A and B are shown apart, each in its own frame.
Chain A
Amino acid sequence: MADETLVPVGPGTTDPLDPTDSFPTPLPSLGLTVEQLEALLFVAERPLSRREIGSLSGVDREAVDSLLGDLEVTLRERGIRVTTAGDSVQLATSPDAGALIARYIGSDGVRLSPAALETLAIVAYRQPVTRGVIERIRGVDSDYVVRSLLHRRLIVEHGRADTPGRPILYGTGFDFLERFGLTSLDDLPALEAEAAMRLSE
């Protein structure tokens, strides 16, 4: 490109000057069906973001969303569920199979102290939340309990707050959902309505 003329970039061609283009040729769109989406999630064995699914298959965001919705409905009759945390989705076993799978894997249930449980509840229902908010609600230093929940991956860091000191924001991820048999945060048991209303006054 010595003469600096612009080369048209289209399907099948790449801009050699674009360092963000890691593939020699953009992948042609494959389209996506519910069955293909299920197969992709099945083989991924890790959470996939909607963006990732979109760019792999070449379909847009709305299509991915609606296919995920369809897959969710399809799987309701089956032993597999779609779990959702943030922008990512993953396949997991259904809650009904929990005891059986736990026995197969030999996994012990998680044991949590009352302090860990109430801290986890604050993070789960109010996320993203800083340690300061947790401590204000509990009225007690929560450094240890937050670190212990982080260590057990029941809570995860969700970036930093845009406030002085830029404190770490905490939220929950797939591990939390799976431990408690939830496919998404929408499945969280509702908070006591009266108290919640009083607080929002």
Chain B
Amino acid sequence: MTAPAVEIRFADARRPEDATHVRLDVFDGPIALLLSLIEQRQLDVLTVKLGDLAGAYLDAIARIEGGRLPLLSSFVTVCSQLILIKSRALLPRAPAPLVIADGDAAEVDPEEELRRRLIEYRLYRDAGRALAERLSLGVALFHREQGVAVAAGRAGARPELSAKLDPQLLADALAASVRLVPPAPPPAETVARSVTLEERAAVIRRALLVAPKLVLQELLRDVHDRIVIAVTFLALLELAKGREVTIEQSEPWGPISVRTRAGSANGRAVHGR
């Protein structure tokens, strides 16, 4: 390929209609790429010799980043069509060169077929752009949101055709309402037992007085209250922060062993709730 190197300019357009922006991501397909190559050269889709673009197209897809092979296959299909078109153009035109002789299905000229796809694609791409312009005009319509009327309909507010409501019913209902049993008073508030850090720190200290080392899980073996467990753990962290104890855990979820730190004043206060 001796064609000049293709310059694909990214997001370089001044006006959307002559954008040469070539984005090769999952959204822009092989037809979009071919069309943008044509437009970039200001050629006419209706008349351009598509075979001449084979080189530029190859160059362009060579720039698609690696790791996008599944996507690349659709580009390669168009590429092979371009090469076929180009090679046919080079050959002297024989009468009906590659007629597929199955019934009445005459062979479709691959160039015309591809051109047709380009035109079709461009048609909808441009229609999409025209739609986008409408979006920026502020011409959106709004409807009333479903609300009261629908709720009323669901509640059976269909106009009653036979029985009319007697206003006396309303008065009776009001009279009946005063005879209603008043609601039971709410239950007395239950106050949760409070657990303090101080309290739990004392438990740890006491345990460390009788043994040089304790395992937290063993200390809490008979405790089932999650709050107590959590506060004990916090108290332990406080003790470690106050340099009273050292904590060791060799593996996640493993035993947490606690030792008195040498020379620490065992009676130091732990502040907290």
Contact = CB atoms under 8 A, between A and B. Distances in A.
Interface of A: 25, 27-28, 42-46, 81, 83, 90-99, 101-102, 105, 107, 109-110, 112-115, 117-122, 124-125, 137-141, 144-145, 174, 177-183, 189, 191-192, 195-196, 198-199
Contacts of B124: 118, 121-122, 125, 137
Contacts of A198: 116, 119
A27 B134 CA distance: 44
A120 B131 contact: yes
Interface residues of B, number: 43
Contacts of A115: 27-28
B243 to A, nearest CB: 56
Contact of A125 (B26, B74, B127): B127
Nearest to B34: A139
29 contacts: A25-B161, A44-B149, A81-B141, A91-B144, A94-B141, A95-B139, A98-B138, A101-B142, A109-B140, A114-B125, A117-B129, A118-B121, A119-B128, A121-B125, A137-B117, A137-B124, A138-B32, A139-B30, A139-B121, A140-B26, A140-B28, A140-B31, A178-B140, A178-B143, A180-B139, A181-B141, A192-B127, A195-B120, A196-B123
B29 A102 contact: no
Q: A-side binding surface: helix, strand, loop or mixed? A: helix
Interface string B88-132: 000000000000000000000000000011011111111111111
Across chains A and B, which 10 residue pairs bring their CB atoms closest together, nearest first? A140-B29, A181-B139, A117-B128, A115-B27, A99-B138, A95-B139, A121-B127, A121-B128, A92-B141, A139-B29
A46 B149 CA distance: 10
B146 A45 contact: yes
Nearest to A94: B141
A178 B142 contact: yes
Q: B-side binding surface: helix, strand, loop or mixed? A: helix
Contacts of B194: none
B147 interface: yes
Interface of B: 26-32, 71, 74, 78, 116-117, 119-132, 134-147, 149-150, 161
Contacts of A118: 121, 124-125, 127-128
B31 to A, nearest CB: 4
Contact of B141 (A95, A114, A145, A191): A95
Q: Which of B116, B117, B128 has the most CB atoms of chain A within a 10 A radius of its CB?
A: B128
A122 B126 CA distance: 11
Contact of A93 (B141, B146, B161): B141
A145 B143 CA distance: 26
